[in-house]
Structure 1
Amino acid sequence: MNMISALNHLFIIRDSHASKQLDLLKKALYADQIIPYLGPGLLRLKTVEPSVPHTPETVAAALNARAPAPSKIRTNMWSVAQFIEQRRHRRTLQAWMAEIFAGPVAPTVFHAWLATLPLSLIVDSWYDGAMRAALAETGRTDVIEIQGVTRADAITDIWTRTYDLGGRELQPGSAATTVLYTPHGSIRPAANFLVADSDYVETLTEIDIQTPIPQVMKERRTNRGFLFFGCRFDDQMLRTYARQIMKRSQGPHFAVIDSATLTKNERRFLAANAITVIDMPAGEAAARLAAARV
């Protein structure tokens, strides 16, 4: 059955409506009219179990295996990371996160397809580096990555670092056709991680006035919308970052997500930010987008 439904102004499209919308989004991606915003759920598109954690909860579990945290925070990645930083030092947290995400993550077909498109901007909200790897595999030299960095040990007013696909650090503001923005950091090339509550204290204080958001991000989002793929918004931190990254963008916005699993907070967030839910299995949606025809 074809269906478009709204609940508290949350728009959900299914069946043939969802398929038609994906076809339109595919054309928009080819035309560089929409920005992919990728989440850890993309790792589950592969037939084998991901070699690295694919949810904040699985990161929390991996950290707990190294240093058990109090039960009341045990499933919260940010709180467990803060507990380790306070008890074991930042260097220990950094080393453990590098261990947890050390396994190579092969890009999915969807990553590989996105890497071939002339996109101005791609946002990757996870630490695995798969999108970076897909871009590097194309041999492109017109891509830079801007990573969020912790200010825990910073002695200068720095929010991000910029790298080329070879891992060389560049000056802020370097020109590129495609910018890969990883706001929470990434395992490669330098194991930058925003993960503990303390990493976000100053960032969240400043993010409402957009200070931590790179200038190129602000410029390139202005006349575009976002396509959220592999993302969930069941934590306040995830919602805050998505909201601020979307800020002052033109839209429209879409999210490929199983509507039956949405929490009350997710529904409220999606409705408040005018994000239309494409209710289709992620694997099916990725295959439709990455198919050869346009």
Structure 2
Amino acid sequence: MAIDRTLLDRFIHHQCTPEETEQVSRLLQESPHLLDDYLQEMWEEEVTVQMPDKMAQAIAAHLQTGAGAVTPEVSRKRHWIGWAAAAAAAVLLFLCVGGWIFQQGRHTPPNNLLVVATAGKNYRLVLPDNSTVWLKANTRLEFDTIHFGKSSRTITLLNGEAFFDIQQDAAHPFVVVSGAVQTRVLGTAFSVRHTSTKEILVTVAAGKVAVDHHQQQLDVLLPGKQITVNQQTGHFSEQQVPVWLAAAWKESQLQLDNASFADLKTAMEIMYGVHLETTRDKVRRQTYNILMNRYMPPREVVHALGQLNRLAYKQLNDTTFLIY
């Protein structure tokens, strides 16, 4: 079986129809060797520009970690034509086999890679500096493949929510741009939420970050601090939150220790999409210890809460439980 080179080129540049996109994705899933054929053709073309070391290492790392993916040698001595486009193609095709969409859109700057996490699933991305980004479903971000790591490490979060675990590098600050808000770090772990509303939400899990609005610093945040910024006005508010709140949406398990009822409610909503209600002050004042597994049925978790804390419960509807 072969795959049309022109169709793949159009797929990489986000020019396929929905039907063609589905066709290419299905072919790559059914026949991973097609990736090898396509990359071999691309990498054998005559070239004039050498691929930078960091990008070569990053592409090799991506290709080595994929199930069923090929691992072509990435040589620093060999010259590649349009290596940035080749990098985009390699990562695009590999990640499509693994469930990602990795595209260079027609409205994206030529050196930028646009990463799109598809609906219904969170994804993990390792950047050229070995920093790790987890994208929540329906999240988009992009970065410049040529200039990333030269003077700074800049990522643009176009929409959605992402959790960042950043490698320390004082000479190259890491910056997340989300609309008019910039989050600057040296080495830390934090999340940024950029939705269709006017607000940007930054939550720190470790280290510290500086949050700016139009290059003016608003505050420096420590672990457990959350800031909400109005993109238009720059007005912001801060609150103290559990450190696990920054990353709970991407975890399969969450351990609560001496959590308040308010934090328990938040954890249940994030992990299971269910709401807890109560009419008793005793329930609100109590603290809770429980290990939550995302794959347990919510009713079993609520039952365990009742057993551990000598509380009763009633299921009001598909998504709401009354604790008393």
Q: Tell me if both proteins adopt one fold, taking TM over 0.5 as the criterion.
A: no
Higher helix share: 1
Q: TM-score range by the shorter chain?
A: under 0.3
**TM-score (structure 2 length as normaliser):** 0.23
Higher strand share: 2
